Every structure is written in C-alpha cells, then in structure tokens.
Structure 1
Amino acid sequence: MVDGLFPYRGIIDRGTSWNPYTAKVGVYLKKKPHGQSGYWIRIAYPRDKKERAMYSPEQAKDWKAAALDREHITDQFLDLHITETKGDAFMPPIRVGDDFLNTLVKLGMRLKGAPFESYGRRLEAMAVDKSKRIEGVNIKNNSKRALYNNESMSPTKGLTYCDSGDMDIGIILKDRLGTVYPMFPDDPDKGLVMFPSGMPFPIIPEKLVEVTDLVNEAIAETKAEKASAEESEDDE
C-alpha cells in the first residue's frame, strides 16, 4: 500500500478493460456485474519516485492561504458545471495545413459550440502544479491564441484541451489491406487501440462519424469568416 492523495478519475463501465499500470494515478469506480448494485473501488497507484512525490500527503496545502498568496486563483475551486457562463460559441479556425490532431480537437470544439470561457476556466483549474505556476497565469490566453494560430498540436496539448472540454480520445492503428508484413497474420482485421487519457471507453463503429465532410465545411467557414473580417477592415 502507498499513502497518498489521489484524485477521483471517474467510472469504469462494465466490460471495459482497465489496467492500473497504464491508467492515470487516481481513484476509479468500477460498476459491479449485472444484477448487483454499487461499485468496486479501483486505484492506480504511483509507479515511480516522481509520481509518489507528486501525490504525497505532504503536497496537501491550505487552499485559502494559497489563494491569498496568489498562488492559485479562487475560480479554480468553483464547480464549473454550475457556474458555466453564457457567451458566443468558440469556433477555432480549421485550415488546410492543420495537422490531424489539431484538426480533430478543434473540430470537436466547433461541434460543441461552447463559449471559450468554459475551456479557459478549466485550463486554469488544471494548472495547479506549482512547477507550472508561470504558465498557469496566462494559460487561458495562450491556449486561445494557439488554437487560433497554430497549424500543429502536440499530444500533450491535445490531451489538455480534451480534458478541458470533456472529450475522450482514442488512437487506432491498423494494417493497410494487402500489407506484406501484417501485425496480426492470423487476423488482418485486428488492430491496436490506445486511450491516451488512461480511461478506456467503448468504441461503437456504427456511431463513429468520418470527419472529411465536416472538416471541409469548417475550412470553408474559416475562409468565409476571414474574408468577412478583411472586408470589415477595408470598410474602416
């Protein structure tokens, strides 16, 4: 057993594979089999010295004092589901040159139609690690600027934006038809799947939407918005 302060990570659905050695450190609830009510508690413990230090009880602090010392902003401790603010939908531009992760994450944001404030508040709340204090001060503005201007997105940023927007992401790797060296010779239709956020979720093929048409539509909207903005500047 390891002493520590572990965050609650969510519920593991029935039939979902879960590995404590690859999941994010934290406390999970696993639904009991059909016919039984309640949950089992599952814990992913720290796996190395760095993680043990990160979740050590010594990291506990007086949040009121931290807020007064301006180490953290008080909005971090609000229930963001309750205090959701109204505002214009955040529609980050999608361009032809955007890489696949940048395109996919921004498309998800556009489809959600949520105001950027909802992402910004969560980004600020997630930047509680003291080592990221400087980044945390400006993380909201920096993230919005990056989502508007950058053509590429790192996996780390992609996971951060997904967490802030309540989105799960999975990566599927599968052999192309007719490959000379298949990963699974006995079953060429078999593939690999990874859940970077650490929590597997059901993949239902008939519920998946191929994004080509949606991406092309978003690119066209981005071009139209840019042309409209340029016309407005000319009129001024």
Structure 2
Amino acid sequence: MDFFSSVSRLFFDLGILSWDVLLTLSNLVRRSRRIRHVTPEGHPGYGGYWPEYRPPKETDSRCSCPALNAMANHGKATARITFDLEELDLHSGIEHDASLLCLNAAFQPDQSIKHVPFIEELLAAATGKDKDGNDLITTKDLSRMLGKRRAVARAVTRSSRTASSTRSLGARITVFGGRVDDLRSFLLHERIPESWESRIRQPYGLTLMTFNKTILGVEFGVCEQDWAEAAREAVERHTAPT
C-alpha cells in the first residue's frame, strides 16, 4: 500500500510541476492583463473596489500573517475560516524567528503584534524606483534586511529556524510589486490600499516557478556576516543589566 501511495504521489507532483511549467511558458507569450482589469468582474477588488475596512476589535483573533489579517479586516476571511487565526501561529510554522515584521517569540509571545521599527526600517531600505518614480523594495533590499534579522536572531536567541521568512515575505513583496506606499498600508495597518489591484498582471497569475525564482534570488543574496557588528550590539543590549 505504501508503495502505491508513493508512486501515486510522485505522479501527482509531476503533474502539478508540468502544469506549472506550462502556465509559466504561457505567461511569457500571452498578453498581460490591462490595468484595472487584473481582478475578474464580479469579484472583490474589481476596478480597485474592496469590501469596507474595519479595524479589529479586542475580541477579534489575528495572527502573524498580515495577508490573512488584511482579509479579515476587509471581511474576506471570516466567511471561510472557522477557527481562530492565532491558532496558525505555531512557532517556526508561518510564525518564525528573524521576522522582518515582528520581534522573536521569546520577546513578544503575541505574534499578531507587529514591531513598527522593523517595518519602518524595511520600508526605508528600499533602493529601487519604478518608471513613475515610486519607491520599490528590490530582492537585494530583502536579502540585506533578512541577513540582518537572521544574524541578530541567531546571536540573541540562538535560533536557526528562520527559512520560512523568505517564502512568506517574498509572496507579499511580489504581489505588491515592491511598492513601498502600498506595502506601508498593508504591513503597518493590515489594510488593502485604496483602489489597489495586484501587480501580477500575467494572464495565469503567479506560478510556482516564477515565485521560487524570486525566493531563490532573495535567499542566495542573504549574507549574515555583513551584520556581525549589529549582532554583537544586540547581544550586548540584551545581556546588559537593567
């Protein structure tokens, strides 16, 4: 039984990968969706119109993922999710040390609480510009900031399980096209920006191949050694008598 299950899973995975390759190649040759026509008509977000934003109440459950929190704040998660969002925050699951958005769990157990200085530092690290002059976070910017967070996390908490930060944040940055003004609303306030639509305009959306290419570009650019001095300073601050 185990043998047939393994073979079945292998063919299933090969089928998914083959389909993804086909979609990726199709994205290269087919015309991109027009601006304001990325979201299909009749769906939330069409034409930049989203459900009303409602800040969470004290009794509302939230987690470390700003995407899920933003969906809940716009009323798009409550109809589909029947459990508390905070239940998703298994340590080293979607919640992890060396986050670009939150303090390590050892210092802030409630990972739904964002650390504003981290987010402001990330947004300020943007070095890219689009054709209209808007600030963009590039893959090199992400690599640089991830290197700092990981170096500090390893030094302060001896944590080494930090890889998921690349995948989760890479998805957010890709969908937002790296636009700092959009990311500010999304990361700080967990709110979909006014008149926003996805920057992914390819007809078949963001494929696994394209997504993993972005993630690998970020991951290979991470250099924790560049932040050795910042890590030492962080250790000194945490070990200094109060």
Short-chain TM bin: under 0.3
- Larger % of helix: which? 2
TM-score (norm 1): 0.28
The normalised TM-score by structure 2 is 0.27
